[in-house]
Amino acid sequence: MGEILIALIKVVFIWVWVLLCAVVMTWVERRGAAMIQDRPGPNRAGPFGLLQPLADGIKLFTKEDIVPAKAKKILFMLGPLLFSFPAFSTFAVVPFGDKFVIDGKEILLQVSNVNIGFLYIVALGSMAVYGIILGGWASNNKYSILGGLRSTAQLVSYEVPWGLALLAIALVYGTFSLRDIALAQSGTFLGVLPNWGVFKQPLGFILFMVAAYAEANRVPFDLPEAESEIVSGYHTEYGSMRLGLYLFGEYVNIVTLSSLITTFYFGAWHLPYIDMSAFLGPISYGIASFIVFFLKVAFFLWLFVWVRWTVPRFRYDQVMTLGWRELIPLGLFNIFVTALVIQLTA
């Protein structure tokens, strides 16, 4: 019974934390865009516009929910759920800190420590595209269908280099477990650098980052919902909380992707050259490890905003060319070099 209670507490905590991060990101996105573009941004709802996410939520909940007369109603309603569910569920295998030790009992800061965490992420990540495809096709709107088709090509294309970058990380650390990968990044590499994945897999990190932006449908890869070309893409016909699930799911997705980048390439909860467990107590160490992890994630969340409001959108042919002709060959080259180095140093 105690194990079940601990598991429930971790599930509730991580859901609340991810939801809060996504809510705050809707405000950070607007304020960050305003700062970059030298304008005020939201500043009416509460001090500094901090209540703007609450106002948006009230608006989405109270708007009329309209379903187009010729839409495929069941699939139309299913689309937003299929899009948002994988983003939430992927976090089940992400370690968001090290552990607490209470009365000699270790409590891992991870919902589920499974040996196939890598495969779980890839499997769930590939499901999100169905939410976009179904939403676009079921709307019976030509702009929505175009957005859905673009999404199909883009997400399927960039899942390949994304998976190749993950495979190289699995080769380096010899495990599919995210916690084991995080634990292996303590200490130093070559006696000088932090023992982080970004220093062992610099090319893999670049591939993963670029593919992550494409998987999140963020500028410069927001072709599935490019307002200037196809009105709003796959969610043109959506309103109320169905649209909210699409928009909110995007922010949950970037929280998840930032957490994965932190776990695979930036040492998870480890600080460079400092072993926090050596001078902190068993409980304070657990809290400190979560704070360090959160600060690293926060940096990459801000990077998503920074890139969105700085880099112009690519043309669609450029997106496809980058994925198939450049990132995939580089991903295969990275795996070949990684395997060769491992074999020569074994």
Q: What is the pLDDT of residues 124-165, one digit of tens each?
A: 877 878 888 888 888 888 888 887 888 888 888 898 999 999
Output b/e per residue, 24-54; b: 16+ Cβ within 10 A: bbbbbbbbbebeeeeeebbeebeeebeebbe
Q: Taken in order 46, 47, 51, 52, is the CA torsion positive or negative?
A: positive
pLDDT tens per residue across span 306-346: 998 888 888 888 989 999 999 999 999 999 999 999 988 87
**Which domain covers residue 309, as residue numbers?**
2-345
Tokens of 173: 């650390």
- Report the distance separating Cα 142 and Cα 177, nearest Å: 43
Dist. CA 204–CA 193, nearest whole Å: 17
Instruction: Determine which of 183-187, 245-249, 319-323, 332-336 has the lowest per-residue pLDDT on average.
Output: 245-249
On whether the CB atoms of residues 132 and 224 are closer than 8 A, the answer is yes
- Assign 29 a pLDDT band (cuts: 50, 70, 90): very high
First to last CA, the chain: 45
Cα–Cα dist 105/171, whole Å: 32
pLDDT of 1 above 60: no
Lowest mean pLDDT among 85-89, 163-167, 265-269: 85-89
Please tell me the distance from the alpha carbon of residue 227 to that of residue 213, in angstroms, as a whole number. Answer: 18
Paired tokens of 49:
């516009």
- Beta partners for 107? 100
Q: What is the pLDDT of residue 338?
A: 94
Cα angle: 207, vertex 208, 210; to 5 degrees: 65
Structure confidence by residue, pLDDT tens digits, 285-294? 999 999 999 9
Neighbours of 229 (CB within 10 A): 15
Specify the number of domains making up the chain: 1
> Token match 């993950």: residue?
166
% of the chain at pLDDT higher than 90: 33
How big is the chain by its Cα radius of gyration, in Å? 21
pTM above 0.85, yes or no: yes
Nearest to 155 by CA among 90, 243, 220, 216: 216
Give the pLDDT band (50/70/90) at residue 228. low
